[in-house]
Chains A and B, each alone.
Chain A
């Protein structure tokens, strides 16, 4: 599991690569701290190369949303595979995030 981060057009973009399981969530949570300073800028979570996510990873996404939304930031998720989209549907996360 790895992540990359960039700022692009006043948007914060983090890309996820590999398996976001409970073991990987520890480091990924640290990686995602940079997104907490969003200050109203929009956030894109690029999941084109995310192969797997368990509830530990979903919690990180929800935790980010809870911080970013009150600051006026939109949190978008892009590139979910059909399998992952089903997980997001099942947990109601497709209603919480902007899925693009």
Chain B
């Protein structure tokens, strides 16, 4: 989604940088709540955005950097006329989550594996998920359109 200069004057734009520590997730929730409020999303959509964005960010925190090493994840939220755009970036190992996350939800408890659910939820709740690698950065763009 591109946002023209004229619109960007009116729209909400906010940045958050977190270390790769999942105990920082509550700060992410505050950030997402503020962005969703700026768009005017209802409570259900706000919960879904929290879920999708948490899953994407935690995935970076858990897997982008080698175990025991520090790294950051940057989150930019733009709330405009069209809805919410969230850009999540990191300088970790190349990883494209948009091609993952197919989970067979019909399997029994014994057969179900523990992984993959987070990325599946991210993909289901966002309208679009786009990944690109730019230099040493993973850049994931998540979009949720305004419905009303």
A interface residues, Cβ below 8 angstroms from B: 19, 21-23, 26, 52, 54-56, 58-59, 62-63, 65-66, 69, 82-83, 87, 90-92, 95-96
Interface residues of B in 33-80 (CB under 8 A from A): 43-44, 47-48, 50-51, 54-55, 58
Docked-complex contact B109 and A87, CB < 8 angstroms: no
- A83 partner residues in chain B, CB cutoff 8 A: 43-44, 47-48
Task: State the Cβ distance, B94 to closest chain A Cβ, in Å.
Answer: 22
Number of A-B contacts (CB under 8 A): 73
Interface residues of B in 95-148 (CB under 8 A from A): 103-110, 112, 114, 117-118, 120-121, 124
Docked-complex contact A55 and B108, CB < 8 angstroms: no
What 1/0 flags go to B1-43 for Cβ under 8 Å of A?
0000000000000000000001111100100000000000001
Q: Identify 23 residue pairs between A and B in the complex whose beta-carbon atoms are under 8 Å apart, listed by A's number.
A: A19-B29, A21-B25, A21-B54, A22-B25, A22-B54, A23-B25, A26-B23, A54-B50, A54-B51, A54-B118, A55-B55, A56-B22, A59-B114, A65-B109, A66-B109, A66-B110, A82-B44, A83-B43, A83-B44, A83-B47, A91-B117, A91-B120, A92-B103
Docked-complex contact A90 and B58, CB < 8 angstroms: no
Q: B29: which of A21, A58, A59, A66 is its contact (CB, 8 Å)?
A: A21
